[in-house]
Structure 1
Amino acid sequence: MSLHVLDFAKIIILSEDIAEVIVNEGVAMDGQIAEELETFLILHLSAPFSVLVNKVNSYTYKFCAQLKLANMQNLHAIAVVTYDNISKIRTEVLRDTTPANKVWNLQLFSTRELAIEWLEVEQEKTRYDDLG
């Protein structure tokens, strides 16, 4: 496990193909930030990779960032940990209204532990698919 501090977030590498992203309080995620996040993940994780988004802080997305994240290269699964109903609803709206090239493999969780367990199972599926 390693911690990386970027201008807009902390990223914890949980395994070779799973990272936890904790966006800083008050960030307005724009296209440039989304691009920087994607580049970081591609450089530090094995593809295909999965991401745990820990919504411990409050932040917003501009539409261009939503599009970039929805169509991120090599992204297999997203687990989002929400701590209140408003954050959960906002995440569901983001998932359901952002145009993407494929259906998002995204699940919401109330605990970090459950989210990590789900991501590990999802990543195991990618390794199994590679063998078959």
Structure 2
Amino acid sequence: MKLYELPFARIILLSDSIAEVIVNEGVELNLTMVKQLHEFFLAHLHSPFSLLINKINAYSYDFEAQINIGNLSEIHAIAVIVYKIASQLNTEYLANTIPRADKWNLRIYSDRDVALNWLQLEQAQVS
């Protein structure tokens, strides 16, 4: 397990194909940050890969970030851990309302271990 610090987030490599992302408190993600995340994933993870998004902190997205986040064909599955109903609603909005070229393989959880287990099962199908 390796920890990387970006100016706006921490990324923990849980395996060669699964990363946990924790965006810092109060950040407003913009297109530049989304591109940095995507570049990081492509440089550090084996494709196809999966993401564990840990929404322990409150943060937001600008419009360009909402449209572009997660738009990588290399992403196989996304598990989002939510701690508040607002985070769940925001995640559902991003997944279901924003037009995407490919529909996300996404599930929302309130338990990190259950979320990680689902990602590991999903990754086993493509490894």
Q: Structure 1-normalised TM-score?
A: 0.93
CA RMSD of aligned residues (A): 0.9
8 Å CA contact retained: 1:29, 1:65: yes
Structure 1 runs of 4+ off > 2 angstroms?
none
Alpha-carbon separation, structure 1, partners of 2:73 and 2:66: 14
In 2, the alpha carbon distance for the partners of 1:82 and 1:49 equals 21
- For the pair 1:31 / 2:31, whether they are aligned, the reply is yes
1:10 corresponds to which letter in structure 2?
A: R
Partner residue, 2:89: 89
**Where do 1:1-80 residues align within 5 Å?**
1-80=1-80
Runs of 5+ consecutive residues of structure 2 not aligned to the other structure: none
| TM-aligned CA deviation for residue 84 of structure 1 | 1.3
The answer to which of 59-68 and 117-126 deviates more is 59-68
List alignment gaps of at least 5 residues for structure 1: 128-132
> What secondary structure sits across from 2:102 in the alignment?
coil
**Whole-angstrom distance in 2 between the partners of 1:11 and 1:72:** 17
**Equivalent residue letter for 1:90:** N
User: TM-score with structure 2 length normalisation?
Assistant: 0.96
Return 52-61 or 89-98, whichever deviates more. Answer: 89-98
Measured after TM superposition, the shift of residue 73 of structure 1 is 3.7
Which AA in structure 1 matches 2:9?
A
**For residue 52 of structure 1, what is the amino acid of its counterpart?**
L
Q: Is residue 99 of structure 1 aligned with residue 99 of structure 2?
A: yes
- Partners of 2:42 and 2:70 in 1: CA distance: 15
Query: Who is 1:130 aligned against?
Result: none
Instruction: Count the aligned residue pairs.
Output: 127
- The 2-side partners of 1:73 and 1:11 are apart by 20
SS across alignment from 1:15? coil
Displacement of 1:66 in angstroms is 1.8
Say which SS state the counterpart of residue 69 (structure 2) adopts: helix
> For residue 12 of structure 1, what is the amino acid of its counterpart?
I
Give percent identity, aligned residues only: 46
Contact 1:70 1:98 in 2 (8 A): no
Q: Is the 8 A contact 1:77 1:122 kept in 2?
A: yes
The separation in 2 between residues aligned to 1:106 and 1:11, in whole angstroms, is 19
Larger helix proportion, structure 1 or 2? 1
